[in-house]
Amino acid sequence: MKNENTNPEDARLATLLRESRVAPTLPPRFQESVWRRIEEAEAPAKAGGGTGWLESLAALMLRPRFALAAAAVLIVAGALLGAREGGQMAKQDARARYLAAVAPNSLR
Amino acid sequence: MNRSLVIVLAALVLGVALFGGSYFAGQRACRMTLANPTDDLAWLRTEFQLSDAEMARIRELHAGYQPRCAEMCAKIAAKKSELEAALNGATNVSPVAQQKLAELAALRAQCQAQMLQHFTEVSRTMPPEQGRRYLAEMQRLTLGFHEQTEQSMSESAGHEHHHE
């Protein structure tokens, strides 16, 4: 095996082979276009347009922290508004009750 | 359907359900808590910020007024029955029916005067400013209804005349 490697004919052949390899010249702005194609392949939604915000919103809603905070805000806001409305209704009920006790319907 | 759209719609539905549920729960709880079904005069205390002494005096006045009010109501109900009997099957307003109408109106006026007198007495037991507010509010609630009806009728009559 060693004899084969040190064969001068083989060395010449190897040199010839190296020289015969053609180094092609790259087209202008080759690297830039490659990167652009990679970016386009990674972001198809952006290239399509329109649904990007929906996906972002869906991703936000699936975050546990955001979902819990939103649920807490909705529950507290609903309960507070409901309590305010309930207070008003209770006041109206009480007034109607007093009115029914002092002013007969036939006079109103 | 798009997965993101489904997620957003489901979240919106859940959000509306959470808000609506807590709103109605809060409303019901507050209404039940603040309601006082045993006391007819509870509204006076909270609305006009009355003291225990003022409330005690008003309760006395109220207790005195109730039987007189009930008596007048019974008289009005009886007179209404008489009027209905006089009008029953008649194609014309007979003199008897006219008489009953006049008596009913007189009874109502008497009852109304008694009621206004009671409101005045109650207002006197309150602090002056609250008393004035109470009297104005009671007059608006008990007499305003008729004024509103009369006003709407006169407006509609005027409207019709305008087009004639």
Q: Exposure string (b/e) for A89-104, b if CB count within 10 Å is 16 or more?
A: bbbebbbebbbebbbb
pLDDT tens-digit readout, B2-49: 888 999 999 999 999 999 999 999 999 999 988 877 888 999 998 999
Following DSSP, what letter does each residue of A11-80 receive, concatenated? HHHHHHHHHH---PPPPTTHHHHHHHHHHHHH-HHHHH-SSHHHHHHHHHHTSHHHHHHHHHHHHHHHHH
Q: Do B9 and B61 reside in the same domain of the chain?
A: no
Q: Which domain holds residue B21?
A: 1-35
Q: Do B147 and B112 reside in the same domain of the chain?
A: yes
ipTM over 0.90: no
User: Could you tell me the pTM of the whole model?
Assistant: 0.64
Q: Do B26 and B48 reside in the same domain of the chain?
A: no
Q: Which domain holds residue A44?
A: 30-62
Identify the residue among B1, B3, B4 best suited for mutation to test binding to A, counting A beta carbons within 10 A and taking the highest. B4
Q: Do A75 and A102 reside in the same domain of the chain?
A: yes
Distance from CA of A39 to the nearest CA of B (A): 22
Instruction: Name every chain B residue with its beta carbon within 8 A of the beta carbon of A93.
Output: 31, 35
Instruction: Name every chain B residue with its beta carbon within 8 A of the beta carbon of A44.
Output: none
Q: Cβ separation of B62 and A102 shorter than 8 Å?
A: yes
Q: Note down pLDDT in tens along chain B; length 164 residues.
A: 588 899 999 999 999 999 999 999 999 999 998 887 788 899 999 899 999 999 999 999 999 999 999 999 999 999 999 999 988 877 888 889 999 999 999 999 999 999 999 999 999 999 999 999 999 999 988 886 556 555 665 665 555 444 43
Q: Tell me, what's the pLDDT at B156?
A: 58
The CATH number of the domain holding residue B89 is 1.20.120.1490
Following DSSP, what letter does each residue of A48-62 receive, concatenated? H-SSHHHHHHHHHHT
* Domains in chain B, number: 2
Instruction: Name every chain A residue with its beta carbon within 8 A of the beta carbon of B1.
Output: none
B9 interface with A at CB cutoff 8 Å: no
Q: Do A57 and A88 reside in the same domain of the chain?
A: no
